[in-house]
Amino acid sequence: MNGLRAGNRRAAGRLITLVENHPDAVEPVIHAAFPFTGRAYVAGITGPPGAGKSTLVDELIRAVRAAGLTVGVIAVDPNSPFSGGAILGDRVRMTRHSSDQGVYIRSMGARGHLGGISLATSNAVTLLDAMGKDVVLVETVGVGQSELDIAGATDTTVVVIPPGLGDGVQAIKAGIMEVADVFVVNKADHPQAGKTVADIRDLLRMEPRPREWVPPIVQTVATQNEGIEDLWIRMQQHRAFLERSGRLTARRRARLQREIVEIAERKLRLAVLEPRTDTTEFEELVDDVVARNVDPYEAASRLLGRNAHNGMGRTEGSMTTC
Amino acid sequence: MNGLRAGNRRAAGRLITLVENHPDAVEPVIHAAFPFTGRAYVAGITGPPGAGKSTLVDELIRAVRAAGLTVGVIAVDPNSPFSGGAILGDRVRMTRHSSDQGVYIRSMGARGHLGGISLATSNAVTLLDAMGKDVVLVETVGVGQSELDIAGATDTTVVVIPPGLGDGVQAIKAGIMEVADVFVVNKADHPQAGKTVADIRDLLRMEPRPREWVPPIVQTVATQNEGIEDLWIRMQQHRAFLERSGRLTARRRARLQREIVEIAERKLRLAVLEPRTDTTEFEELVDDVVARNVDPYEAASRLLGRNAHNGMGRTEGSMTTC
């Protein structure tokens, strides 16, 4: 933990790997790191594959460093089985920033996060925050609900939209409009970029309620480092808005509350459900469902009911409500 | 239930809506329908927005009908807040097939599925199966983990890839290669289609272990009804393979087992966690976490520990392991 707090990248890497691979290590490590957290500005960056996020984040790292701040990046790809830096784009970035002790980049795939990738991401953010990083960027690939959930569990959520998505903007708008604090239309030199900006503006205009913070739409050409400065300014403006309005505290509190409930769910599953599903009784119960003698809801009640009897004492009263 | 079993579309619509909107109705409705299930061939069709799935499924409906079979379609869009047929493409399809009693189409968005969209989809499949549909198609928009999970909980999973995705095939390969039973390269008249087919073939070739079933790659131009017959033949071949090899039973059993566990998790959450998070004690606990006096894992244990004391009798023994 001392190495981590001193900003040592190897120490950070070792601890994140430890927490990813050894369930028993999670609680003591987070317990030790947690008191030193709450200082980092955490921003999520999400968007579909091909939006140019990798290059954009690379340039954003430079902008943050140019402002004299240290930065940690967690690149989450729920569809990748790899973890620990095996994703190609990240390797390139890591090499590029390898001599800069103020930058730490970590890839996370879906493998080995039995507690769920969102908890694994929270833990990595906790460790980079405790490491003393001023800014933590959580990059997620994709615009599915899980990616949006991960990217949205931050102070500021940046949504990167590639130009020429056509109906795509329409198709993905629902989940995105709720979480986006800043829009980026990357590849702004693309002929369709203007239309994409106009589409997003229309969607914002059509919203039923006025917002206190209207998400700005930043145009960037990440490959030519255009618009990155502007993006970083907009992100900081959003953070200032959150602080000024008292929402930073509210947002972070809500995030921690969700995290506690998520951890409790996992603990409950491990303690109550898993020991009971690895039994011949459960196999027989599943056979009964396959034979259509028992429906899945009834089977679930029996699974919990038997559990209540065997493992948890006089609990029939409360478990009958299941 | 009689109306549903007679294949009445209004009855089906009413029951699906009931199950979606009234948590108390889920168990009796599924209990009544479940004995009549297990006969439908259930296929998932997934792919990114813009792959042309909507037109493809529309043509597939015609092919299935031409074979003399009835078909139900559940169009799931986890990113849409709408449910019940409000998605544009589905409205068009519904109108087109509205005079054909052998077709039933239902859209499902993310709203109102507190039990999770995957359980809601399972319930809808159960009802269409009990309705007597020979084929049930589950269409999901997106290639995130949740979409793949939904599409993969079927007998056959069809993955639709648009041509010219570039690095996209590479980016999304991990989750997809595991679940795909049949690949479709739609818009096969696109100049990049050949390359996309070759890319998928390469990915299949690079797999470490030989497969008993190698996913075929079907080229279609859905807008011109090209290749649809071939797709339907490949899907039936896959189904025949599953039956011949005994995997159909194994796959369906595994699906039901996951469903039971998922329902049990939800019951546990509703019975144990939710009543405890709506208390001032929990608010104070969250305050302690915000103040960094307690870490989230410790808070989760306290949430469950207090719970164990108050609501569940002599359960300290088993809950201490949390």
Query: CB count, 10 Å around CB of A53?
Result: 25
Contact B110 A172 (CB under 8 A): no
- Residue A174 C-alpha, separation from nearest chain B C-alpha, in angstroms: 6
- Residue B30 C-alpha, separation from nearest chain A C-alpha, in angstroms: 7
β-sheet with A71-76: strand ranges across? A103-108, A71-76, A135-141, A41-47, A156-161, A182-185, A217-219
Nearest residue to A319 via CA among A306, B322, B282: A306
Disruptive mutation site among B129, B179, B289, B315 for chain A (greatest number of A CBs within 10 Å) = B315
Stated pTM of the model: 0.80
Paired tokens of B293: 């006096």
Residue B3 lies in a domain: no
Residue A253 lies in a domain: no
Q: Are residues A225 and A91 part of one domain?
A: yes
φ/ψ region of A207 (left if φ > 0, alpha if ψ in -120 to 50, else beta) reads beta
Paired tokens of B113: 């599925």
The CATH number covering residue B158 comes to: 3.40.50.300
Q: Are residues A206 and A68 part of one domain?
A: yes
* Alpha-carbon separation of residue A275 from A261, B66, B308 (angstroms): 21, 49, 18
Whole-number Å distance between alpha carbons of B172 and A63 = 29
- Of the residues A246, A268, A284, which one is the last residue of a structural domain? A246
Q: Are residues A308 and A235 part of one domain?
A: no
- Residue B66 C-alpha, separation from nearest chain A C-alpha, in angstroms: 31
B7 touches chain A (CB under 8 A): no
Residue B26 lies in a domain: no
Nearest residue to B273 via CA among B304, B305, B314: B304
Instruction: HSE, CB side, 13 Å, CA atoms: give it for residue A287.
Output: 6
Q: Are A316 and B262 in contact (CB under 8 A)?
A: no
With CA atoms as reference, the chain A residue closest to B263 would be A300
Using only the alpha carbons of chain A, give its radius of gyration.
22
| Residue in the structure block whose two tokens are 């994409």 | A196
Chain A residues touching residue B273 (CB < 8 angstroms):
261, 264-265, 268
Whole-number Å distance between alpha carbons of B76 and B110 = 8
Q: Are residues B267 and B227 part of one domain?
A: no
Q: Helices (DSSP H) in A97-205: which residue ranges?
A: 117-130, 145-152, 168-179, 193-205
A12 touches chain B (CB under 8 A): no
Whole-number average pLDDT of chain B: 85
| A75-127 residue pLDDT tens | 987 655 444 444 445 666 777 788 899 999 998 876 555 567 888 899 999 99
B172 touches chain A (CB under 8 A): yes
Q: What is the pLDDT of residue A309?
A: 41
B50 touches chain A (CB under 8 A): yes
Residue A109 lies in a domain: yes
Full residue range of the structural domain in which residue A310 is found? 259-319
Nearest residue to B140 via CA among B249, B48, B23: B48
B114 touches chain A (CB under 8 A): no
| B106-144 residue pLDDT tens | 988 765 555 678 888 999 999 999 999 999 999 987 766
- Of the residues A200, A215, A246, which one is the last residue of a structural domain? A246
Q: Are residues B272 and B220 part of one domain?
A: no
Q: Are residues A181 and A148 part of one domain?
A: yes
Whole-number Å distance between alpha carbons of B18 and B14 = 6
How open is the CA angle A59-A63-A66, to the nearest 5 degrees?
135
Q: Are residues B196 and B81 part of one domain?
A: yes
Paired tokens of A226: 């255009």
Q: Are residues A217 and A287 part of one domain?
A: no
Whole-number Å distance between alpha carbons of A173 and A196 = 12
Digit-by-digit pLDDT tens for chain B (322 residues) are 889 999 899 999 999 989 988 889 999 999 999 999 999 999 999 887 778 888 999 999 999 999 999 999 999 876 554 444 444 456 667 777 888 999 999 988 765 555 678 888 999 999 999 999 999 999 987 766 677 778 778 999 999 988 876 555 555 555 677 789 999 999 999 988 998 899 889 888 888 788 899 999 999 999 999 999 999 999 999 999 999 999 999 999 999 999 999 999 999 998 999 999 999 999 999 999 999 999 999 999 999 985 444 433 334 334 433 4
Q: What is the DSSP letter of B222?
A: G
Give just the sign of the alpha carbon dihedral B306, B309, B313, B314.
positive
Paired tokens of A120: 């694994």
Query: CB count, 10 Å around CB of A277?
Result: 18
Q: Are residues A162 and A67 part of one domain?
A: yes
Side chain identity, residue A148: L
Contact A172 B49 (CB under 8 A): yes
Q: What is the pLDDT of residue A169?
A: 58
Among the partner residues B147, B256, B259, nearest to A144 by beta-carbon distance: B147
Whole-number Å distance between alpha carbons of A4 and A9 = 7
| B165-198 residue pLDDT tens | 655 555 555 567 778 999 999 999 998 899 889 9
- Residue B50 C-alpha, separation from nearest chain A C-alpha, in angstroms: 7
Backbone angles phi, psi at B49, to 5 degrees: -60, 140
Residue A252 lies in a domain: no
Q: Are residues A263 and A139 part of one domain?
A: no
C-alpha dihedral, B265 to B266 to B269 to B275, nearest 10°: -160
- Residue A92 C-alpha, separation from nearest chain B C-alpha, in angstroms: 16
Q: Are residues A88 and A235 part of one domain?
A: yes
Using only the alpha carbons of chain B, give its radius of gyration.
22
Contacts 24+ apart (CB under 8 A), A196-200: A196/A161, A196/A162, A196/A163, A196/A164, A196/A165, A196/A169, A199/A169, A199/A170, A200/A161, A200/A169
C-alpha dihedral, B43 to B48 to B49 to B55, nearest 10°: -40
Whole-number Å distance between alpha carbons of A108 and A84 = 6
DSSP-derived 3-state class of residue A7? coil
Residue A190 lies in a domain: yes
Report, as an integer, the average pLDDT of A172-200.
85
Q: Are residues B227 and B94 part of one domain?
A: yes
- Of the residues A186, A214, A246, which one is the last residue of a structural domain? A246
Task: Count structural domains, chain B.
Answer: 2
Give chain A's count of helices (H) and strands (E).
Answer: 15, 7
Q: What is the pLDDT of residue B302?
A: 95
Whole-number Å distance between alpha carbons of A287 and B272 = 28
